[in-house]
């Protein structure tokens, strides 16, 4: 199963304005992507993140998932179950109860308590979100689609882009204007007026730097940000968030919901068309194309199908094979212009899911002409299966068609002349320019010359911008977003070199050292020692700079202000009924559980965000005294198993990194210095050089299963949300191969 995991590199390159992505992060402000080498390598998710954000695990045929769960050994599955139950059992128990709760506020509160247990388990350490760094940009803030979840944030068609960098004072003024006008539908026009009055010239072309090519062009068979970011611009969904965060009609012009909340009926615009990459009509777009898209998404099982399991009627049964007739699944075309979704039970966040690619339409006729089949006959490895192999093998119904795609070079998007809303898009051409991120000055020089339209400044390019007299006038601090990046701890390591190339990322540990580390990583106090021992601010400074080192720090998985209670709510915390008033944020409830358990983690600052409260912008984990105390407890417990840990007998942990990426190489060294200093030399960090970003990604980001994870600690991946409910994060840590991020801790 693959998903919108966000890679750190993607996250950096992305947050300008988030799928998974796996990757990738969510657009913070400029509506860009997540793959930079100077911020958070993004999806962010994105999954993200970042989210945050990346190719398929199979380099040769990433658009198909050859590895099936049935191929995993029973022994490995049993070991995963035992570890999950011992390390995440409390989380799962509370979370399962929360998922059964029908009252929305109580459900949120119970999920917050469950996340508290997830943080206490220390199977991963939250590190940062996307954004919070210095930027130079030609893109006006908040002129791309605005949403904390889904993939609408990657849509660029409404962006306002100037021919020159926009001054920081004008960025600030536009942000204030957006906050004032949000929800009125007038911000874009007012922003355009403001920029023109200030003497800026707007252009209809967007130049963007990307660091990883799409591994497939089939948006419905992908779960990573590397595909989501470009491909979301090739289709429209039923609804779309605008730049003010308001969901607007897109391919659907209206909809209604039944009184029982189980049936959503969407009425499509008439005259919609599918075209090929040359803009030639290939078919009319009808309601059946949404049925086709949903069935193909479930057949392909690219990693996102779990999102509609238990939501759309009989989706789970079709995916598992219990139901083979797709007509029994709760999506059908009532007529050519009416599509109907039937749910298993009322779902308060169903509409927020529509902004994600799982609801994309697909031309049945075009898909079949490219060798596509459905159900038991679906086989993406068949010799005549061509769909999604390149930009010429997909059909388009969105604002752009891809007219050129040269691997590791250029992707060119041109306006779709048959697009239903073609007269109202601001950007007519998008040029994506490849950068392998090995030269930290290239992005800066390209942004300065106008070859690309924005840059996230690294510590080194910040100095250059100051020397070039650009910084004081144009540099601003980017917004953060909902993507969350983590350092993952491998609880059950089996790989000691990259699975795609055993000459890359090879560990130098002896078998005895491997066994000692394996035992230590299964001890919660040892993992907490690692988490408390990392100076995350100094670690983050290597990418975002000393001045902004705390801006993007995140202290939990679900952002603390992601949701709040709609009414006064009482929940039981360790057997004591506790009432939280309406308006209480998720993070405050999570903190209450952690405090009740006496674990020294601070995930919520009630005074943050100008008194509104926040889970970001401070380091609630780093504490050397706590790190030493946890390590002492771990040493005592492990000694019972005959394991001695001291300066002469340290635990060695492998951490992959890419020496070709200067900022992230510096970050890896900061990690090593912080951990070894905090823990008094009783833990030694082996920095394993994977050299390139690809090698770094294949150590964990591109893997499909936990047994392929080649690390003890890994800092590439993140997650960005798919819809507006905390479960979009917490579901990723479900057991039995259902939780996408479980593989990152070495299980399932």
- 142-171 residue pLDDT tens: 999 999 999 999 999 999 999 999 999 999
- Pairwise pLDDT comparison (2 vs 68), residue with the higher score: 68
Residue 315 lies in a domain: yes
* pLDDT, tens digit (0-9, with 9 covering 90-100), for 574-586: 999 999 999 999 9
* Residue ranges making up the domain that contains 347: 236-369
What is the per-residue pLDDT for 477? 97
Provide the token pair at 136. Answer: 């130079």
Residue 721: which of 561, 480, 481 has the closest Cα? 481
Q: Please classify residue 287 by burial: count the beta carbons closer than 10 Å to its beta carbon, then call 0-12 exposed, 13-18 middle and 19+ buried.
A: buried
Give the tokens for residue 210.
Answer: 């990307």
Position 32 confidence tier, pLDDT thresholds 50, 70, 90: very low
| More confident: 625 or 61 | 625
Assess if residue 345 is contained within a domain. Answer: yes
What is residue 42's predicted lDDT score, i.e. its pLDDT?
Answer: 37
Q: Which neighbouring-strand residues pair with 338?
A: 267, 335
Q: pLDDT tens digit string along 173-221?
A: 999 999 999 999 999 999 999 999 999 999 999 999 999 999 999 999 9
For residue 292, the domain's CATH number is 3.90.76.10
Lowest mean pLDDT among 53-67, 160-174, 378-392, 513-527: 53-67
Q: Kindly report the pTM of this predicted structure.
A: 0.84
Q: How confident is the model at residue 1 (pLDDT cuts 50, 70, 90)?
A: very low
Is 70 exceeded by the pLDDT of residue 62?
no
| pLDDT value at 288 more than 70 | yes
Task: Give the pLDDT confidence score for residue 72 in this predicted structure.
Answer: 82
Strand-pairing partners, residue 225, are none
How many domains does the chain fold into? 1
**Model confidence pLDDT, tens digit, residues 375-408:** 999 999 999 999 999 999 999 999 999 999 999 9
The pLDDT-based confidence of 225 (bands split at 50, 70, 90) is confident
Say if 54 falls within a structural domain.
no
Q: What is the mean pLDDT of residues 502-527?
A: 98
Q: What is the spatial distance between Cα 27 and Cα 156, in angstroms, rounded to a whole number?
A: 11
In a domain? residue 266: yes
Task: Tell which residue, 343, 341, 342, has the closest CA to residue 310.
Answer: 343
Query: Can you give the pLDDT at residue 512?
Result: 98
Q: What is the pLDDT of residue 8?
A: 52
**What per-residue confidence (pLDDT) applies to 303?**
85
> Contact, 34 vs 74, CB < 8 A?
no
**DSSP symbols for 645-694:** -SSSSPEEEEEEE-TTSHHHHHHHHHHHHHHHHHTTTSEEEEEEE--SHH
Q: How many CA atoms lie within 13 A of 26 on its CB side?
A: 27
Average pLDDT for 273-285: 99
242 in a structural domain = yes
pLDDT of the residue at 223: 84
Q: Is residue 268 part of a domain?
A: yes
For residue 359, being part of any structural domain is answered with: yes
- Whether residue 21 is predicted with pLDDT greater than 70 in this model: the reply is no
In a domain, 307, yes or no: yes
In percent, the amount of the chain with pLDDT more than 70 equals 91
Token digits of residue 727: 């479960």
Q: Which residue has the tokens 């009627």?
A: 313
Query: How far is it, in rounded angstroms, from Cα 306 to Cα 50?
Result: 19
**Average pLDDT of the chain to the nearest whole number:** 91
Contacts of 332 (CB under 8 A, 6+ apart): 291, 339, 340, 342
Number of neighbours of residue 64 by Cβ within 10 angstroms? 21
Q: What pLDDT is recorded for position 7?
A: 52
Q: Quick: pLDDT tens for 591-625.
A: 999 999 999 999 999 999 999 999 999 999 999 99
Q: Is 449 in a helix, a strand, or coil?
A: helix
């Amino acid at each position: 199963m693959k998903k919108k995991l966000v890679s750190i590199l993607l996250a950096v390159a992305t947050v300008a304005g988030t799928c998974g992505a796996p990757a990738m992060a969510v657009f913070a402000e400029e509506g860009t992507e997540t793959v930079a080498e100077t911020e958070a390598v993004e999806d962010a998710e994105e999954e993200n993140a970042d989210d945050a954000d990346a190719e398929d695990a199979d380099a040769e045929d990433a658009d198909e998932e050859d590895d099936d769960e049935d191929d995993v050994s029973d022994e490995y599955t049993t070991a995963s179950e035992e570890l999950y139950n011992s390390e995440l059992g409390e989380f799962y128990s509370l979370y399962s109860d929360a998922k059964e709760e029908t009252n929305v506020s109580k459900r949120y509160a119970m999920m917050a308590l469950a996340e508290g247990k997830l943080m206490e388990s220390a199977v991963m350490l939250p590190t940062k979100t996307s954004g919070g760094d210095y930027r130079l940009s030609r893109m006006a803030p908040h002129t791309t689609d605005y949403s904390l979840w889904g993939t609408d944030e990657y849509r660029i068609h409404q962006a306002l882009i100037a021919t020159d960098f926009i001054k920081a004072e004008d960025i600030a003024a536009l942000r204030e204007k957006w906050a004032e006008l949000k929800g009125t539908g007038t911000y874009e026009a007012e922003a355009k007026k403001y920029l023109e009055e200030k003497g800026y010239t707007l252009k209809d072309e967007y130049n963007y730097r990307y660091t990883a090519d799409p591994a497939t062009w089939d948006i419905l068979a992908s779960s990573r940000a590397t595909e989501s970011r470009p491909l979301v611009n090739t289709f429209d969904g039923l609804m779309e968030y605008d730049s003010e965060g308001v969901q607007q009609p897109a391919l659907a012009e209206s909809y209604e919901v039944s009184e029982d909340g189980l049936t959503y009926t969407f009425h499509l615009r008439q005259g919609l068309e599918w075209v090929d990459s040359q803009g030639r009509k290939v078919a009319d777009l009808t309601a059946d194309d949404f049925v086709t898209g949903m069935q193909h998404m479930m057949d392909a099982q690219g990693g996102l199908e779990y999102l509609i399991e238990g939501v759309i009627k009989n989706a789970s049964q079709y995916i598992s094979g219990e139901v083979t007739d797709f007509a029994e699944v709760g999506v059908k075309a009532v007529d050519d212009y009416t599509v109907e979704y039937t749910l298993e039970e009322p779902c308060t966040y169903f509409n927020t899911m529509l902004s994600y690619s799982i609801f994309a339409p697909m031309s049945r006729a075009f898909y079949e002409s490219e060798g596509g089949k459905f159900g038991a006959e679906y086989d993406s490895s068949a010799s005549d299966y061509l769909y999604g192999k390149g930009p010429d093998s997909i059909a388009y119904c969105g604002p752009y068609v891809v007219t050129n795609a040269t691997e590791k070079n250029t992707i060119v998007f041109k306006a779709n002349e048959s697009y239903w809303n073609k007269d109202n898009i601001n950007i007519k051409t998008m040029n994506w320019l490849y950068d392998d991120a090995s030269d930290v000055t290239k992005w800066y020089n390209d942004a300065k010359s106008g070859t690309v339209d924005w840059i996230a400044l690294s510590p080194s390019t910040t100095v250059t911008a100051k020397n070039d007299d650009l910084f004081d006038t144009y540099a601003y601090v980017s917004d953060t977003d909902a993507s969350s990046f983590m350092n993952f701890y491998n609880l059950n390591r089996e790989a000691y070199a990259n699975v795609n190339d055993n000459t890359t990322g090879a560990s130098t540990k002896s078998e005895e050292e491997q066994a000692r580390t394996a035992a230590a990583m299964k001890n919660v106090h040892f993992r907490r020692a690692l988490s408390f021992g990392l100076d995350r601010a100094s670690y983050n400074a290597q990418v975002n700079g000393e001045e902004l080192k705390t801006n993007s720090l995140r202290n939990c998985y679900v952002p603390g202000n992601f949701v709040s209670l709609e009414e006064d709510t009482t929940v039981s915390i360790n057997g004591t009924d506790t009432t939280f008033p309406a308006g209480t944020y998720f993070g405050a409830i999570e903190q209450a559980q952690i405090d009740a358990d006496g674990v020294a983690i601070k995930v919520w600052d009630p005074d943050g965000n100008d008194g509104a409260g926040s889970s970001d912008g401070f380091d609630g984990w780093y504490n050397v005294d706590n790190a030493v105390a946890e390590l002492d407890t771990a040493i005592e417990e492990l000694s019972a198993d005959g394991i001695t840990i001291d300066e002469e007998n340290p635990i060695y942990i492998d951490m992959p990194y890419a020496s070709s990426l200067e900022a992230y190489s510096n970050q890896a060294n900061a990690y090593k210095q912080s951990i070894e200093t905090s823990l008094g030399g009783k833990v030694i960090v082996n920095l394993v050089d994977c050299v390139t970003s690809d090698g770094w990604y294949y150590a964990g980001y591109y893997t499909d299963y936990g047994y392929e994870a080649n690390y003890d600690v890994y800092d590439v991946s993140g997650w960005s949300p798919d819809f507006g409910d905390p479960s979009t994060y917490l579901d990723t840590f479900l057991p039995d191969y259902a939780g996408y991020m479980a593989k990152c801790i070495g299980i399932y």
